[in-house]
Amino acid sequence: MGILSVEPAYGRDYKSQKEVKEAWAQGKDFVINSIFSPDCGRYVNKEDAPKGSFINIRYKKGTCLVVIKT
């Protein structure tokens, strides 16, 4: 169990928590952006995320945050 900070991949961005949660549920890719993680810069999605972790997803040009528990 841990915390993983990510942001939308491929230049995507979202305007609401609902959009972020839908994208996560659909298995869209996100980029790990935690400088303390050895996986920084790698892509992750719902299937790849460690079970029991908290995923901090930044959206709306990085100004908002939604937390998803896997």
* Structure confidence at residue 39 (pLDDT): 87
Tell me how far apart the alpha carbons of residues 60 and 26 are, in angstroms, rounded to a whole number: 19
Listing from the earlier edge strand, what are the strands of the sheet with 54-59? 43-44, 30-32, 3-8, 54-59, 64-69
pLDDT tens, position by position, 7-41: 999 999 999 999 999 999 999 999 999 888 888 99
Which amino acid would we find at residue 58? R
Tell me how far apart the alpha carbons of residues 51 and 61 are, in angstroms, rounded to a whole number: 27
* Structure confidence at residue 1 (pLDDT): 61
Domain ranges of the chain: 3-69
Task: Scan for tokens 């869209």, then name that residue.
Answer: 28
pLDDT tens, position by position, 38-70: 889 999 999 999 899 999 999 999 999 999 999
